[in-house]
Each structure stands twice: as C-alpha cells, then as structure tokens.
Amino acid sequence: MTMLKVNNRTLEVTSRPDRTLADVLRNDLGLIGVRVSCSEGECGSCTVLVGGEPCTSCLMLVNQAEGQDITTIEGIGSQDDLHPIQQAFIEEQGFQCAFCTPGFIMSAKAFLAENPNPTADEVSVAMSGNICRCGAYPYIVRSVLRAAEKLRKSSGQQAAE
C-alpha cells in the first residue's frame, strides 16, 4: 500500500512498488492528463510536479513519490476554471494535436514560478525537455510568454487588493 498526495488529496494506492508513478496516476487514479509516450524520460509528455519540481513520472517509481506533493494537469485548473497558463495556451494556440500539452504546461508552471518575467530564449531553453511532435514550438513559446504576463497581472492585482 502506498499513500500518495495528489492534487491536494491523500489517496491510498494498492500497487506493486516497482510500478511507475505515471502508470499509477493514469491507470489507478484515472488522471489521464498524464500522457505517456517514450517511457524513457526523453519526451516530457508525462511531466508532473513532485514537491513543486517538474518530474518525468515515467521514470519515477510510485514508492519514491510517497509523501510528496504531486500535482498533475488536473490539479491546476478545470474546464470551468482554467489556470492562466491553460488559458494562454488556448489564446496563443500553443498546440496542434495537444498530446504534449499537459507536459508543457506543467513544465511552464514550474519555470514561471522561478522566472516570472522570462525572455523568449529563456522559455525555449526551459521547455527543451519537452518534445512536440507537431512542431508547435513557436506557438508554445508565445503561450508561455502570454501566461507569464497573465500571472504577473494577477499577482499585481492581488498585491493591490
């Protein structure tokens, strides 16, 4: 039995300890926004946040994640209440098939927490662990820049309130 803290909920998972975190999140907990493509840590599509840090969940064993705060794309916004980064990806059309999008958004979330006012080059470097087979990179960079703007505005508004 493994206790996982996922999207602010503590969940009990009965699983062999040698399964990957990505497998458990998708197949036991139904969090299918965690996309698995390469299963080798190369594409970034399975990126989730573990303790606030981006992590390729196809390479982490479920017992290594026990007790840490895990955030998936399902934990940052909903269809009715999109996260500003999700909203920015829609506005800038930062996807084609969208398979890679949750991974990019989770990487962007961690990056923008560290660097709220990045240049386009900094965004490109920060997103270099994520692969988009559709080649939507210019749109993805614009999406992250727009997300940064939205987040700066909302934190400025909160500070003024």
**Residues in the site for ligand FES, rule: CB under 6 A?**
36-39, 41-46, 56, 58, 95-100, 132-134, 136
Pairing of strands 69-71, 2-6: parallel
Question: What's the closest the beta carbon of residue 123 comes to ligand FES, in angstroms?
Answer: 15
Tokens of 83: 């996260």
Instruction: Specify the residue, 133 or 153, whose C-beta has the smaller distance to ligand FES.
Output: 133
Question: What's the closest the beta carbon of residue 89 comes to ligand FES, in angstroms?
Answer: 10
Instruction: Specify the residue, 60 or 145, whose C-beta has the smaller distance to ligand FES.
Output: 60
Instruction: Specify the residue, 48 or 148, whose C-beta has the smaller distance to ligand FES.
Output: 48
The single-letter DSSP state of residue 49 is E
Instruction: Specify the residue, 53 or 155, whose C-beta has the smaller distance to ligand FES.
Output: 53
| Residue 84 near residue 154 (C-beta atoms within 8 A) | yes
Beta strands in the chain, from DSSP E residues, in sequence order: 2-6, 9-13, 47-50, 53-56, 69-71
Strand partners, 13: 2
Question: What's the closest the beta carbon of residue 60 comes to ligand FES, in angstroms?
Answer: 9
Question: What's the closest the beta carbon of residue 43 comes to ligand FES, in angstroms?
Answer: 3
Give whole-number Cα distances, 130 to 3, 8, 42, 153, in Å. Answer: 28, 25, 8, 26
Question: What's the closest the beta carbon of residue 141 comes to ligand FES, in angstroms?
Answer: 13
| Residue 104 near residue 50 (C-beta atoms within 8 A) | no
Instruction: Specify the residue, 95 or 111, whose C-beta has the smaller distance to ligand FES.
Output: 95
Q: Which amino acid is at 39?
A: S
